[in-house]
Amino acid sequence: MKKSQLVGLLLCILFGPLGNLYSNVVAAVSLCIAAFILFMLMWVFAILIIWPIAIILSIHHVEKYNKKVQFEEQRHLEKLNVAAGMDIEKARRNAFWQSSSMPMDKLYYYLLRKIFPERYK
């Protein structure tokens, strides 16, 4: 299941490094340790330095996770298509279009299926 970048962004804006627990636990723990150390040295700069880093890392980790989930979904659809009797290239092509999350890609795949019904089943 994909994660929402908006939720990750809002959690990091509200809770700083702890908001990264949604996207990546290791990054959250390391940022909390870094924030604690910086807070002991210079407390004003800890917020100004760690907070934006936490937000950027959250967006990055959620995007990375979503790409991984989409790749796994595409591989799964590929295997299902091959098991259903398609050749490998056709299975890859269909799995790519089926796993796409963009609405325009779904529309594009629908139109391809209407134009070339024997190729895109």
Look at residue 33 and tell me whether its pLDDT is greater than 90: yes
Query: Can you tell me which residue has the tokens 């009797």?
Result: 85
How far is it, in rounded angstroms, from Cα 28 to Cα 30?
Answer: 6
Say what the pTM is. 0.73
How big is the CA angle at 67 (ends 31 and 77), to the nearest 5 degrees?
Answer: 145
Least confident of 74-78, 111-115, 117-121: 117-121
Task: Using alpha carbons, list the distances in angstroms from residue 43 to 9, 14, 37, 40, 57.
Answer: 23, 18, 9, 6, 21
Residues 114 and 105: beta-carbon distance below 8 Å: no
What confidence tens digit (pLDDT) does each residue in 80-94 have?
A: 878 888 777 777 777
Q: How far is CA 51 from the centre of its chain?
A: 21
Look up tokens 């290239």; give the residue: 89
* Average confidence (pLDDT) over 8-23: 93
pLDDT band at 105 (very low <50, low <70, confident <90, very high): low
| CA 47 to chain CA centroid, nearest Å | 27
**How far apart, in whole angstroms, are the C-alpha atoms of residue 109 and residue 77?**
15
- Lowest average pLDDT, out of 26-35, 44-53, 57-66, goes to 44-53
